[in-house]
Chain A
């Protein structure tokens, strides 16, 4: 039974490095404890300490996975929230506020250290404040906190805003305190500062008698204490480890560094075991690290993406489940390895976390500009599998499955994601490791190799088979000796350029894609259908979330619409998509790029099936400014009839 969606969106606006993300996360944690569903998106510049940063926290009485266009509460730690000081043409957070919204500002006088830009002058935004009829709440955050705890406590000023919000919306004091303890409990001093700041915020609001004019904190969405608040990047890392990944090599790049750091921190290694061992108290916990000893892997930071992909090739080639994570510029450097894995039939997983391009582009912002690059990247022709999750839950599931797909079909698998997923904070049910299945495909056992030897049957690594997939031995296995090769090769791997061999091997490799299509464990497309078929949305990845939300809005207006989320993008589900298009009067392809890459793929793949997709029928709704697409964008897109 669907309730009306009630959501409230907060923006914490400061400079990079001044703790806005932590503050947003604190409030998200409090919301979660209250059963309310939180979702966080970062809107930051590529910068460490000085440029404007906005952390968007949306809370709702239903499960949500995307931000909204509008802001209800803006917390101003810095002038950049209300003024475009460098005249770059920025859209200011204050301009995106709903009429009657709440503006909470630090009203402290100018500080020289540590941040001399924080003094907020609201008069420059007088016109906006008046026209939007904003409720302005000034509170001397930094002044009070530093006076009470000293200059080093400056950053704790953020927690004053939590106190203000908690008091305004009547959030229980105990819940807030527990959350602070959870976050700062290990550092006594920090906990004291933050709790003091929080308490001050609450008292100040009470003193002034401030009340929200119309906003209400959403009711519970039924989020349970055991549920997770997880970054997409962490979900991928956790999924990879549980999917049996025991080798990671990567080069730091935004927005994929989360995966690198998760893998280095959590890959079972001697160091991780030692850390667990130190903390262990109970016999059960001791058993954890005893068991871990047979499950070591290696996670390393490499010197470049070029090197990382080739290290991966070597590792996967000798039989370990291996992964790297990168973004567009890094993936560009990995093309030779991608292609080499194709011909040498080496299974590995590349996490491609897309950002705005081209070139350096928008390093910290989202986009879906590399879909066709992943589908057609790498020189030459070879099979690859591309899957794309929409949120943390799917990111975890797809990461576990990616390794089975890679090993079963002996080809590279791209886990195609984007900044909004990798760095977005999502609610999800607890991941279930017992749901993970390990399938190593045609990896051969030493017994079989022995038997072949007794029967004097040579083992052929690249044997031509019915489904194109050959049995696979790895170094260390006796009698399975062969050559992995990036040259066109014969069945044992030796270079062979004969016409007959070339054709046979090309067919063998490409045939694997047909087997992939039939795989029941492949993340197949998901459909949400309505009875009368007026409008159909087709999506992949993050925009699916906003589209789902838009769907509810449009249905409330009496429009009949349905959604198809393409979860495996390659091999392309041509039949499924073709039929979906046939069944609808109008199709909107929602994606985050300017050229309509998914729409192009659809046209390319479905037209041979006789599906007519005239321009009028197949329309696009696209956002390509680096910001995550919202339900408002989609509803607006439908109202305007979409792009060609």
Chain B
């Protein structure tokens, strides 16, 4: 029952006019703007309903995205639904929302502390089951809201408030974890390359299955250079030096994939290629940008629970049937024959 009154989201401007409270120069502004653009595009061009978006934030600068996607404005509720949850639990809350109502478009806005440290188990198990949701992994290598400690993605040598002599441990590889665990759309983007970011984000939202985008979003306040000096927006330059095209890493890494039949071209649907690139780049503190891995047609977590059924029709068209537990008829009258059966089982 779609309502006919009111307004529709026609562009990013219609989502919310709240001004975010991040530090000037923060990469998160761009992610928010991109997300709004993609949301508007999905509504206007793909017919998605604005009330079906459920944006889930954990805790941290990243999670605050959800705060700026909703608004009470001149007698209107604008924007999308969302849930600002707890540190590290955003993927779990997202799974609950999705399973209770698989019609929703669920997006997780989590940080490197959120998803890589306290919520790593939540992240891995969500990805593993290939739930149809999108995880945006905000990576700036530091904890911002607690004023600049190292996160688990911090690269070796990074000086922070909690690592005055530089990080000594190996960072976690979120993209590698995601693809190994079972995500079926894995990409890396840079907040300053907005066009590419929006393309990747749109692809992730449209992908059926679990998509994970690691977005490098430099912290202008707490990410320091070697020696410990805060860099400000100068940090962008450091990052630019450490990015690299996927194809370039692939040329160096293809020897790791020991199969003579393998095509020399990078194949985005080949897990081994993506893993080789990530391993190689990780060894040398490089961050390849772009779509790393994409696998279509894998059953999603909701399909495995029989909440969603995908049937191939003639002519290659698919029909998707969704059953949402939130829409279950829970009236006693409706269920009485079944309830009597359950009671008979207790004798």
Contact = CB atoms under 8 A, between A and B. Distances in A.
Given A294-B329, A294-B334, A298-B99, A317 B93 contact: yes
Interface string A221-254: 0000011111000110010011010110100000
A229 B343 CA distance: 11
Contact of B85 (A297, A340, A436, A438): A340
A182 B67 CA distance: 59
B56 A303 contact: no
A457 B75 contact: yes
Contact of A319 (B56, B64, B101): B101
A266 B341 CA distance: 10
Contact of B96 (A249, A269, A491): A249
A644 interface: no
Contact of B346 (A230, A246, A318, A492): A230
A295 B6 contact: no
B330 A311 contact: no
A298 B102 CA distance: 11
Given A438-B331, A475-B101, A317 B83 contact: yes
B100 A434 contact: no
Interface residues of A, number: 88
Contacts, number: 265
B325 A474 contact: no
A304 B325 contact: no
A363 interface: no
B319 interface: no
Contacts of A450: 3, 5-6
B72 A460 contact: yes
Nearest to A489: B84
Nearest to B92: A310
A477 B51 CA distance: 6
A430 B84 CA distance: 44
B92 A307 contact: yes
B67 A483 contact: yes
A15 to B, nearest CB: 29
Interface stretch (A86-94, A283-291, A580-588): A283-291
B84 to A, nearest CB: 4
A495 B50 CA distance: 22
B70 A433 contact: no
Given A460-B72, A476-B52, A311 B85 contact: no
Given A337-B86, A434-B336, A246 B101 contact: no
Interface in B314-347: 323, 325-326, 328-332, 334-343, 345-347
Nearest to A400: B332
Nearest to B329: A294
Contacts of A340: 85-86
B5 A298 contact: no
B92 A311 contact: yes
Contact of B54 (A241, A318, A337): A318
Contact of A478 (B49, B70, B122): B49
A507 B50 CA distance: 33
B330 A486 contact: no
A296 to B, nearest CB: 5
Given A310-B86, A318-B100, A336-B86, A433 B332 contact: yes
Nearest to A245: B330
Contacts of A494: 18, 67, 70-71
A591 to B, nearest CB: 29
B231 interface: no
Contact of A307 (B53, B122, B306): B122
Contacts of B5: 450, 453-454
A520 B336 CA distance: 25
B335 A238 contact: no
A468 interface: no
Contacts of B83: 313-314, 317, 344, 483-485
Contact of A310 (B52, B53, B66, B96): B96
Interface in B259-276: none
Contacts of B67: 483, 494-495
B100 A484 contact: no
Interface string B83-111: 11110010011111111110110000000
A40 interface: no
Given A270-B306, A296-B325, A481 B81 contact: yes
A249 B98 CA distance: 13
Contacts of A453: 3, 5-6, 76
Contact of A298 (B54, B81, B307, B340): B307
B347 A288 contact: no
Given A310-B85, A344-B83, A481-B50, A433 B66 contact: no
B335 A242 contact: yes
Nearest to A484: B83
Which of the listed residues B71, B100, B336 has the most CB atoms from chain A within 10 Å of its own CB?
Answer: B100
- The 6 A-B pairs with the shortest beta carbon distances in the complex, nearest first, are A314-B96, A244-B330, A456-B75, A310-B92, A270-B306, A314-B93
19 contacts: A244-B330, A246-B325, A310-B86, A312-B96, A314-B56, A314-B85, A314-B97, A318-B96, A320-B100, A430-B347, A450-B3, A453-B5, A475-B51, A478-B6, A480-B81, A481-B51, A483-B67, A486-B85, A494-B71
Interface of B: 1-3, 5-6, 18, 49-54, 56, 64, 66-67, 70-86, 89, 92-101, 103-104, 121-122, 125, 305-307, 323, 325-326, 328-332, 334-343, 345-347
Given A310-B96, A320-B101, 13 more contacts: A269-B306, A298-B100, A310-B85, A313-B85, A318-B54, A319-B326, A322-B96, A344-B83, A430-B343, A433-B336, A456-B74, A484-B84, A494-B18
